[in-house]
Amino acid sequence: MRSAAALTGFASLTLALLPISGATAAPKTAASSCTTPSASARTMSAGVHRRDKNDVSPAQAAALDRELKALLAHRSPISIQATHQIPVYFHVIRTGKGKKGDLSRKRIAQQIAVMNKAYGGSKTGFSFALKGSDWTTNSKWFNAPDTYEKTIKTKLHKGSAGTLNIYTAALSDGLLGWSTFPWQYKSKPTMDGVVIHYSTIPGGSLTHYNLGQSATHETGHWLGLYHTFEGGCDAPGDYVSDTPAESSPAFKCPTGRDSCTASGKDPIHNFMDYSYDSCMTQFTAGQGTRMQKEWAAYRG
């Protein structure tokens, strides 16, 4: 994700899974011992930390900020009270009906409800409406969705820039999910969407990460948010002014953590940190505004 390609294309998303590096380094965990695609979520849950592929470098973030400002320069002011109901297509990849990876309609509905509570409760202006679900039995896709990402999405993706496509499968290397960013839609529309580890859906087997907040987090990226630890303690960090800077991801739920000298304790309860699902409770008003701006620039 450090190459210029991340600004405009998806080369970064089709590369082998990259370690998170630099100021946003995530520690290698026990999860690294379950790198084989067939490792079960139950095996992984013992030492897994939240991790995805959505870090950007400070230089990329600065370039993207210039692009966003340019795109909005001649637009009316963005209303943070704007409401958008986002249509969602849910694509379940499984090894068979009733087998690993399979998800019921009830659990999919529970996932959407979790997202609606997360986004609605904090007045971001976004809500989600399930428009359709499909189930694909394919063990190769299920066990290596990163390898087959282009094939999967070419086959299953639906809708346009304002349509959220969520794919579930067994992610390897301790990843709980990943997402495309709004600015990537133009060059690779079919690749747009969120990929989630199936065991993170409410009722899943991934201890501490099975309340559905991985989808909330990845959808935050899909709406243009960075991690709260983006850029470490250095401004402008995540380009949101009301999320205090933090030096690195917060894991588990470290109440009181204060890793930077700037004012404000670390935003460990924010959906865009790396803490436990049960620890994640908020988006800030600033994040709501940023998502609305990103929507206006790239998805509206």
What is the contact surface with Zn ion in residues (CB under 5 A)?
52, 54
Output 210 or 219, the one with its CB closest to Zn ion. Answer: 219
Q: Which is nearer to Zn ion, 54 or 289 (CB)?
A: 54
**H/E segment holding residue 119:** helix 105-120
Residues carrying an active site annotation: 218
Rounded CA-CA distance 268/259 in Å is 11
- Could you tell me the smallest distance in angstroms from the CB atom of residue 50 to Zn ion? 8
CB-nearer residue toward Zn ion: 54 or 284: 54
How far apart, in whole angstroms, are the C-alpha atoms of residue 178 and residue 122? 23
Nearest approach in angstroms of CB 177 to Zn ion is: 7
Question: DSSP readout, 17-75?
Answer: PPPP-GGGPPPP-GGGG--STT--HHHHTTT-----S----HHHHHHHHHHHHHHHTTS
Q: Nearer to Zn ion by C-beta: 52 or 192?
A: 52
| Min separation Cβ 106 and Zn ion, Å | 27
Angle at 65 between CA 274 and CA 122, to 5 degrees: 45
CB 195, CB 172: distance < 8 Å: no
CB 235 → Zn ion: shortest distance, Å? 20
CA-CA distance, 146 to 15, in Å (whole number)?
8
